[in-house]
Amino acid sequence: MTYFSTTDGTRIFYKDWGTGQPVLFAHGWPLSSDAWDQQMLFFGQNGFRVIAHDRRSHGRSDQTWDGNNMDQYADDLAELIESLDLSDIVLVGHSTGGGEISRYIGRHGTARVSKVVLVGAVPPLMLKTDANPEGTPIFVFDGIRENTAANRSQFFYDLTAPFYGFNRDGVETNEGLRENFRRIGLQGAIKGQYDCIREFSEVDYTEDLRRIDRPTLIVHGDDDQIVPIKASAHLAAGIVKNATLNIYPGGSHGLAETQAERFNADVLTFIRR
């Protein structure tokens, strides 16, 4: 088990395997680095150094009462990158992890970054507002808060149906994925996960996206029921300079797991371009 300690004393768990150009993965809510297992194995076997961390209060990292906000997540990531002295990094962020790597760039720049991959990512803003009419209404996120607080184990399991698209006609359910999602989610701290709901739903990442000045691949399923494509990838692709938008027809929020072979190949092609 590998950890490093941030300046505020929080221990962050991370995996660091292989050699070569570093590819760093940031996970979604309420998960951990384990959600990237298929990518870690694939890219490690293809000559890359693969790194993935558990965000504070998620997975095996310390469960903090305070500091569960996107600025702190980004600063934790910056400390990890600096402690490992990484450069020429490919940053890959899924869902909330897409917000994390965007905020990292917004706060710390791109001096150490080579390329960026956003998959099912929350930026620029998930919340429906007058200026963001395609966003998701606040009552949806209030419901996520309520269910996380009161019935977390069952809620995480139920969430897997729209997350992976298992509620769609003709889509075969994978019970192993469902149980693994719940297993990973329940490793994390309820307080940190509760706080993080605001960070993926109500935080505006527009200015962070504008600071991305590296080649960027945006991957999104057009049937993403968690982060609808109209309020996320379509907008982000118009904000990020030098962005390529790759839409997966019928793709779910969890496409990096359910369509791992295609996703891995697309990202590999993008990195080697």
Residues that are catalytic: 95, 224, 253
- The answer to whether 255 touches 219, Cβ cutoff 8 Å, is yes
Listing from the earlier edge strand, what are the strands of the sheet with 89-94? 3-5, 11-17, 49-53, 22-26, 89-94, 113-119, 216-221, 243-248
Q: What is the DSSP letter of 41?
A: H
At 139, list the tokens.
């009552």
Closest CA to 91 of 211, 183, 216: 216
Contacts of 29 (CB under 8 A, 6+ apart): 58, 95, 96, 193, 196, 197, 200
The Cα-based distances of 158 to 119, 141, 148, 153, 195 in angstroms read: 22, 15, 12, 9, 20
CA atoms within 13 A on the CB side of 135: 21
Distance between CA atoms of residues 241 and 181, nearest Å: 34
Strand blocks (E) in the chain:
3-5, 11-17, 22-26, 49-53, 89-94, 113-119, 216-221, 243-248
Distance between CA atoms of residues 46 and 218, nearest Å: 22
Amino acid present at 107: R
The Cα-based distances of 89 to 81, 82, 137 in angstroms read: 9, 12, 35
